Amino acid sequence: MIPISISRVNQFDAARLDIEMSAMLKEQLVKVFSLMKPGMLFQYEPELDAFLEFLIWRFSIWVDKPTPGNALMDLRYRDERAMESRGKVRTGLEGPGLTIAQKIWYCIATVGGQYTWARLQSFSAFRRWGDSEQRPLARRAWILIQRVEGLYKAASFGNLLIFLYTGRFRNLIERVLQARLVYGSPNMNRAVSFEYMNRQLVWNEFSEMLLLLLPLLNSSSVKKFLGPFSKDKSSSSKVDDDTCPICQAIPTIPFLSLPCQHRYCYYCLRTRCAAAPSFRCPRCGEPVVAMQRHGGLAGNTNPNQ
């Protein structure tokens, strides 16, 4: 026998790719129902997930084909019980696929099991079984659910440790069904491209830098700097003339800034001039030296007084 170890990284990557495939299908299906009543599709999310998982199982494992993730990693399922009964194995890559019973139990465990568990958790949370002190039966059912979940997580963690040591059966379902992942072709090498990873890391670092710097920037200064490059400056000039440059609303007790003659709210202009003696008009950049009541009802006043 020529021992061939199946890469653990390939098996984990295949599982991750299957998850991404389900997410992509779900995203496309949600877009189909985007014009329907908001929130309606959210009520049937477990059924939608189960339907997509069933489709992947139906057109891959049921017809003796690998799942999309397994196909990209050159992996396929093999009935390990048949290999153990034969005794003599040349390379470890040959062997029959899953039996019909294994395929059906795989569907029941992955599709039906996940759907039943998701619905049970949502139903128990909606009925507040954990907070029901006057209903001992519901409280016991909630405690039982929590214990079953804890046992499953502990068993999954134990299976993970065994998988990291032996490289066989990446989850409990595969171990119980004796469905092992092996290479479909012995002539394929693992080719890893880090282009996407590098791009993702660059964008993550860039977004973190923006989150750090944006609160430190003065919004009015940035708006003034980008003002000459605005494409809709001509179309919005009339609207800008009718609004206060500070609060962007119709001026209350309108006052004019001198010498640029732009209209402001009295409170906005007075507080800005009092806070910054060298205050400049955000609209034109001219320094404000005085303020006048709109309509000429009052004389010029010093805004800093």
Residues 173 and 263 in one domain: no
Q: Parallel, antiparallel, or unpaired: how do β-strands 179-183 and 75-79 relate? A: antiparallel
Q: Quick check: is 3 in a domain?
A: no
Residues 166 and 262 in one domain: no
Choose between 126 and 147: higher pLDDT. 147
Closest CA to 125 of 148, 109, 151, 146: 146
Residues 34 and 170 in one domain: yes
Average pLDDT taken over every residue of the chain: 79
Residues 26 and 109 in one domain: yes
Residues 44 and 184 in one domain: yes
Give the Cα separation of 302 and 305 in Å (integer). 6
Q: Which of 166, 181, 198 represents a domain boundary (last residue)?
A: 198
Mean pLDDT, residues 73-102 taken together: 78
| Interval 241-280: pLDDT, tens | 678 888 878 887 888 888 888 888 888 888 888 877 778 8
The residue type of 95 is: G
pLDDT band at 178 (very low <50, low <70, confident <90, very high): very high
Q: Quick check: is 284 in a domain?
A: yes
Q: Quick check: is 139 in a domain?
A: yes
Q: What is the pLDDT of residue 299?
A: 47
Residues 267 and 139 in one domain: no
| Interval 18-68: pLDDT, tens | 988 888 888 888 887 777 776 677 778 888 889 999 999 999 999 999 998
Percent of the chain exceeding pLDDT 90 equals: 22
72-76, 155-159, 284-288: segment of lowest average pLDDT: 284-288
Cα–Cα distances (Å) from 264 to 50, 101, 106, 146, 246, in that order, read 60, 79, 71, 63, 8
Supply the DSSP string of 242-274, one letter for each residue: TS-TTT-SPPSSEEEEETTTEEEEHHHHHHHHH
- Residue 174 is part of which domain span? 8-198
Q: Quick check: is 48 in a domain?
A: yes
Q: Quick check: is 164 in a domain?
A: yes
Residues 16 and 82 in one domain: yes
Q: Quick check: is 228 in a domain?
A: no
The token duo for 60 is 């891959």
Residues 166 and 268 in one domain: no
Q: Quick check: is 20 in a domain?
A: yes
| Radius of gyration of the chain from its Cα atoms, rounded to whole angstroms | 33
Q: What is the pLDDT of residue 161?
A: 94
Q: Looking at the 3D structure of the chain, how many domains does it have?
A: 2
Q: Do the Cβ atoms of 124 and 142 come closer than 8 Å?
A: yes
